[in-house]
Structure 1
Amino acid sequence: MMKLDKLKHTHTNNFFLMAGPCAIEGEDIALRIAERIVELTDKLQIPFIFKGSFKKANRSRVDSFTGIGDEKALKILQKVSQTFDVPTVTDIHESTDAAMAAAYVDVLQIPAFLCRQTDLLIAAAQTGKYVNVKKGQFLSAGSMKFAVDKIKDAGNNNVILTDRGNTFGYQDLIVDFRGIPEMRSFDVPVVMDCTHSLQQPNQTSGITGGKPALIETIAKAAIAVGADGLFIETHPDPKNAKSDGANMLPLDLLEDLLKKLIRIREAII
């Protein structure tokens, strides 16, 4: 199992990967996705954290999929971890989620829209787990120093920052790659979210769009400028995924992408 305390030193080795489906849809599909990613990352020697949301609280439409049940989904994440001996990450949305989720997963993720919520950050920090904070679409990279400070001031130095683009107009995002070295200067691992940064939010249909054809472009650029890790949502059938299918990488394309990224990583270290 990848030791999470080694994340701070990944700049001397390979990048690490947070990957999995947007949401936990069921046990069979979660295990199938995890098995394939573990197979690839073991072969390519990429440290891996399995990602899956136990619930989706931020939906545009009231009839959008939000989850299969909190405890049921968290138990599936725990089973993935136990079956494949890998750490897991899931997002939390309320302070009361922190302790509950921490009983099942290794990393608590703070969604971008909530990255300034002091009570939520402190509750996550107090679990002692790693806390991955996604940079708000509305914030500069430099502003994330305050999120890091809140978590460290609560007694937890296990912080990761993840960039997921900046709001660009009403229905698009753009990535400012200057933010990766700036956030790395805070002495925390920095991740590039290669899928959510390609979202096209606030569509008139109430369903978020995306540009998955550019996932490779974002990932290559992030590795080139020194990202410690990558966040990639992936699914064997994105068109039929229950959440964020428009942004996800088809699972059968992951191996080729990772091989290209390893070559870039080798060229810059």
Structure 2
Amino acid sequence: MKLVTILLLLCVHTADLTPPECKGAKDQVVFCATGNSLKIPSPAAGYTWQFGTPDGVLPSELTPDDTTKDLKGSLEAKHTGVYLAVKTTELTDKFTIIVDAVECTKDVQCQVGTGSSIKLNSNIDGAKWEFESLALPTSGEPPKFTDQKKALGLFDVKAAQSGTYKAEPTGGGTAVEFPVVVSDKTRVSTATVKKGVGCVATLECEVTGDAQKIKWTKDGTDLTLEGKTLTVDTGDAGTGTYACKVLGYHGGAPVTSATFRYTYAGE
């Protein structure tokens, strides 16, 4: 009985360690997260894989399977881009993979940094997409829509792509709009907690890069207060281990500081 239990536990833990698969789709954009396992099916025999351009080199972490020739590997944000299955100059299949996109909300200004990736989800089947009243191109560029054009995905965005994106049903109906602002925000690289100065017991989160939002934890539990400075409770209630979590403008997981042990010292 013990042996069966151990085997079952091993199976459960093995399943937990298997990263989610992110499968590419021809002529579509697919959104993935860091750590996902990429799989782009090879169209057929005789194709070669390229990244970005017909002569672009694949990232070293992503390689074709020896047997199936499917493109595989563990994904990071740097793997965002268009993947080309090339057979001849006239025959090329395109697959756009976007890792850790910033998901924008309709009717709410979406602020992102230059070079970011964005996801605009309209939830409209067969949506007609426009940017600043101009129709978005559907060919001659990297794929930018999910299946049925429900969502729009763009990567390496520039300031010129700031503006309002609109999706509306092809047969008429209520349109949704996504105001996007692309600005020169730097990526968050580090976060450090230090003790504040002055009479009030405070902690400060020092950030390298531009922070969009700063949250705090105490003893591993999320606190409701947000901001660069945290006022610590007085008395024994303030004693504990703190960390700050910083969300930047470029998507991906928050950058979390090392823990800081604070002991309240009363008068």
After TM superposition, the score normalised by the length of structure 1 is 0.24
Structure with the bigger RCO (C-alpha within 8 Å, sep 6+) is: 1
Instruction: Give the helix-richer structure, 1 or 2.
Output: 1
Asked which structure has the greater CA Rg, the reply is: 2
Instruction: Give the strand-richer structure, 1 or 2.
Output: 2
After TM superposition, the score normalised by the length of structure 2 is 0.25
